[in-house]
Structure 1
């Protein structure tokens, strides 16, 4: 792309009305930008500017340290002093600024724009997805969860980022790592379940052997079939599996001495509802299960045992009270 086009891209990307148009997912009526987007001489620059605005709007706070390191390495290795013609002094600073901004923007777009090698999979409430990784490993992602991996580099590094819950059936091969906000799990070939929501981090090994570590790797445990562990006060504590960790795949959710607030969050995820809890102590402990097949039966399974009454006001709202 020539310097004139670079200049146009950045002029577009700095325009407040253009930024608003892009961030509204083009739902804001704007004849000017629509016309330029479809114009033969301007559409290329407009699309580059759209990429730039989208990339610079990316939420860097949610980036994992692994992805930050890859980005910094890429920027460092991509810096190369460009050869430019001598320009009038008043324009030199402007063009250098444009080139620098465009270079960084191009790197950001390359790393974060959906056309890159990072594959992101997200499940909504009341949704479960089953899919295979490039090595044929199988993953079942529970509702309200997010998972990502580098498809291009997957053969060299079988590493994933998870926020939520997933069951993994991993094909044998080199090290397979699941990173979460609270800790990580490393295996070679096995099946296991990972639950990582808010500050709760739990892992259950079904077959094979897994190594589980907290976020700063100051505490680790090795699990064998039938064993589980949980993060308690930043320490991995091992225990025995009390029920099959993949029962949730068939719609059964088990609990053993869990705060009612955690059970309610799972009910909300599985049925895409809002439960109003103002009149109930949600710190009480619950032991039991529910099935996600029918909302009425699931609510009865949880609340009747605790002598809590509930009312389904519509398809998306439930009120509970004593």
Structure 2
């Protein structure tokens, strides 16, 4: 096998598509590649045969009648190829096992608490998605987030939160992340956080009380003093936040649709709203922003207008 058998993980990595370009090139140029490829293709169509005990017993009995004969056996396939076939089948099983993903979602006005395999904790806010692979978690603490979540991370290997807007990396800390279309925000509550934003790939280190957001591809840092995110205890708060993000938070908590086509979405809001009373929440946000609204209760649609 030209030395490929020296690496016990080689076949598994090949099946999983994790070989480097150089490894894959060398493997394709090897004498073994054609046979491995055939075994690989055949293993994908493997099915468990139906088992007939009577028929099987009769076949075994018939095959043992002439036990005194010693027929010559010609080895048509190298012995190592059987080991290769078994290795690939095992590799497929390992591939599917290691590719299994734990997925969690929250609906409108819903929160969800999750305990990760290392006892780190995640509190998901409304209308959010989280996924990670449990296999080998202690060595690869990486998960994907869409929406908002608060993390309490146990010490260990680097803990990474991947989002479409950027990444957050820590060793052991508490932090809050918001990652929605066109918006990215991180607040560090404890420890130290490394934030890498896309697409500029800018890196920022946050200490306790530091926060940063990405709005229209611009980095905006600020500071805060709250010990935990207010949404965990039933109230969303904001500091100089784009009004669009505040309206999205209202939609997520109350399962409403906000028509903001007639207002200036560049306005900023500082304040908060309760998660328990929609009318109170609307007044708390809209009156300070000089906005009026019409609410269609049946369709749960709110149309905003500027009072100026």
Matched, 1:72 2:17: yes
Secondary structure of the 1:305 match is coil
The yes-or-no answer on 1:270 pairing with 2:232 is: no
Of 167, 176, 179, the residue aligned with 1:196 is 179
Q: Where does residue 303 of structure 2 map in the other structure? A: 319
Q: Return closer, same or farther for 1:193/1:83 CA change in 2, 3 Å cut-off.
A: closer
Q: 5+ unaligned residues in a row in structure 1: which ranges?
A: 1-68, 85-95
Three-state SS of the structure 1 residue aligned to 2:260 is strand
Within a 5 Å distance, the mapping from 1:201-280 to structure 2 comes to 201-215=184-198, 218-231=201-214, 234=217, 238-241=221-224, 243=226, 246-280=229-263
Shift of 1:312: 2.8
Aligned mates of 1:135, 1:231 — CA distance in 2: 30
Distance 1:73 1:254, change over 3 A: same
Q: How does 1:49-198 map to 2 (within 5 A)?
A: 71-73=16-18, 80-82=36-38, 99=42, 102=45, 117-198=100-181
In structure 1, C-alpha distance between the alignment counterparts of 2:15 and 2:37, rounded to whole Å: 21
Residue pair 2:16, 2:95 contacting (<8 A) in 1 also:
no
Structure 2 residue aligned with 1:303: 286
For 1:123 and 1:281, the matched residues in 2 are separated by 30
Distance 1:145 1:72, change over 3 A: same
> How far is 1:101 from its partner?
7.7
> How far apart in 2 are the matches of 1:214 and 1:278?
28
C-alpha distance after superposition, 1:173-202 (max 9, x if no partner): 121111111211111111111111112111
Tell me how far 1:219 sits from its aligned partner. Answer: 2.1
Q: 1:82-105 CA deviation, whole Å, 9 max, x = no partner?
A: 369xxxxxxxxxxx8xx59859xx
Tell me if the contact between 1:214 and 1:235 (Cα under 8 Å) persists in the aligned partners.
no
Change in 2 beyond 3 A, CA 1:267/1:111: farther
List alignment gaps of at least 5 residues for structure 2. Answer: 1-13, 28-32, 47-88
- Mapped to 2, the partners of 1:257 and 1:317 lie a distance apart of 25
Deviation at 1:203, TM superposition (A): 1.0
Aligned residues: 238
Contact 2:182–2:215, Cα closer than 8 Å, also in 1: no
2:51 matched residue in structure 1: none
> Contact 1:221 / 1:237 at 8 angstroms: preserved in 2?
no
Tell me the CA shift for residue 274 of structure 1. Answer: 1.1
Tell me how large the CA RMSD over aligned residues is.
3.6
TM score, norm. by length of structure 2: 0.66
2:138–2:156 Cα contact (<8 Å) kept: no
C-alpha distance in structure 1 between counterparts of 2:184 and 2:192, whole Å: 18
Q: Could you state the TM-score of these two structures normalised by the residue count of structure 1?
A: 0.63
Structure showing the higher helix proportion among its residues: 1
SS at the partner of 1:309?
Answer: strand
